[in-house]
Amino acid sequence: MSFNTLFLDRDGVINRKIDDGYVLKTEDIQIMPGIKDFLAMANNMFLQIVVVTNQRCVGRKMLKEEELLSIHKDINDRTGNFINDFFFCPHLDEDQCDCRKPKDGLFLKAAENYAVDFSRSWMIGDSVSDLIPAKNLGIKTIYIGAGINSCADYTLASTNDICTVFLPG
């Protein structure tokens, strides 16, 4: 298999990002267009699919960790259960953790738990802080959004277009 691990940001890639807020309950989850079909396709191409997500709302005590886990279970259920794991950073800036993106701790934690080969892995994100750690680790990158992202190998306007990157020809 030429592809190894698919890393995905969560908010803005799998589910719609909430402006100036957080996904705090399952009713807040809106799956982005094309994501379920893309994950079904990726499931046949990648050894594992993992989410790496900053969730400062946990550190802010807006959401309990078990509530976050049930949100992740719901996201997985609604997208075909193709996601092998969710790695999240619950920390605040003052915690000075090693995992809040653009730091690379979540990616390294995934590599402790799975047979990860960064050179054959991909990261999809909607912000530069998603792509900085990926670039540092030698992971290929897809940026979802408008404008120029200097860390992006591919830039797409919509999650609907992700599959085109992986289609032959």
Instruction: Name the residue nearer to Zn ion (CB basis): 10 or 91.
Output: 91
Number of residues interacting with Mg ion: please give it, by CB under 5 A.
4
Nearer to Mg ion, 11 or 140 (CB): 11
Query: Known catalytic residue: 11?
Result: yes
Smallest separation, CB 104 to Mg ion (Å): 16
CA distance 35 to 20: 23
Tell me if 133 contacts Mg ion by CB under 5 A: no
Radius of gyration of the chain (CA): 15
83 CB contacts (<8 Å, ≥6 apart)?
8, 39, 49, 50, 51, 75, 76
What, of Zn ion, Mg ion, none, does residue 12 touch, CB below 5 to 8 Å by kind? Mg ion
- CA 63 to chain CA mean position, Å: 19
Cβ neighbours of 131 (radius 10 Å): 25
The option from Zn ion, Mg ion, none interacting with 32 (CB < 5 to 8 A, set by class) reads: none
Q: Choose between 92 and 119: whose C-beta lies nearer to Mg ion.
A: 92
Q: Binding segment for Mg ion among 25-33, 92-100, 122-130, 149-157 (CB under 5 A)?
A: 122-130
How far apart, in Å, are the Cα atoms of 113 and each of 2, 7, 116, 120, 121? Answer: 20, 14, 8, 17, 15
Contact yes or no for 144/35 (Cβ under 8 A): no
Q: How far apart are CA 14 and CA 25, in angstroms?
A: 15
Contact call for residue 126 and Mg ion (CB under 5 A): yes
**Shortest gap between Cβ of 14 and Mg ion (angstroms)?**
9
Q: Which is nearer to Zn ion, 91 or 140 (CB)?
A: 91
Q: Which residue is nearest to Mg ion (CB)?
A: 12
Phi, psi (deg, nearest 5) at residue 26: -60, -25
Site for Mg ion in 11-50 (CB under 5 A): 11-12
| Residues of the shown chain interacting with Zn ion in the complex, contacts defined by CB under 5 A | 89, 91, 97, 99-100
**Residues involved in catalysis:** 9, 11
